[in-house]
Amino acid sequence: MMDKQKIYPRSKDRETVYLKNVIIDPSIIVGDYTMYNDFVNDPVDFQKNNVLYHYPINHDRLIIGKFCSIACGARFLFNSANHSMTSLATYPFPIFFEEWGLDVSQITEAWDNNGDIVVGNDVWIGYEAAIFAGVTIGDGAIIGTRAVVTKDVPPYTIVGGVPAKPIRKRFSDETISALLTERWWDWPEEKIARNLAAIQSGHVDQFK
């Protein structure tokens, strides 16, 4: 039986963690077996180093599904990184409410609030990619190295670049539809183990 409660899934590797087991912020929700690798910083510090501008006053959330693979240096940039686009000034006056005689309750008016970041299941996020607030990444998607993701990514789509744009789908529409129906990541562990050969070979028709 696999142990999804451990921090380090590999006995001699302290650069890779099961992310769910190092998160303490209740507004960061991570599914089972999702892993993060970091060869620069301690991967245990993902919450501090990789989830940026994520302040409780916004009530925004980072939601990551099961079986995701997140590479070193991937960043999730939340709403407080924004400056208001409707204001005539880019300067965030409400942050400095004491200087300008504003009420502290106005502080969130300093930035646009685009909502949560939602990452589906079995998503691979490449080295130093940046995911912006309000983005939803579909199941099975791949985010290229140093991509800057400002818009939603459809399931099983590879994106890359600055800003990130679709490169191609991973599979045929028929296979994608079958995968989204089967949702193998929700299977019991025993069934996943029994179907690993089919999963790894890319043959959805061999699921049993």
Q: How far is CA 68 from each of CA 33, 71, 108, 110, rounded to the nearest angstrom?
A: 7, 10, 31, 33
Give the residue from 115, 146, 112 showing the smallest Cα distance to 130.
Answer: 146
Q: Which two tokens stand for residue 57?
A: 């006053």
Q: Which two tokens stand for residue 146?
A: 């140093």
Asked about 54 being catalytic, the answer comes back as: no
What's the half-sphere exposure (Cβ side, CA atoms, 13 Å) at 166?
Answer: 12
Please give the Cα distance from 61 to 202 (Å, whole number). 33
Strands (E), 41-127: 51-52, 62-64, 69-70, 75-77, 117-119, 124-125
Supply the DSSP symbol for 51: E
**Contact by Cβ (8 Å): 184, 178:** no
Given the residues 54, 59, 83, 203, the one annotated as active site: 83
Known catalytic residues are: 83
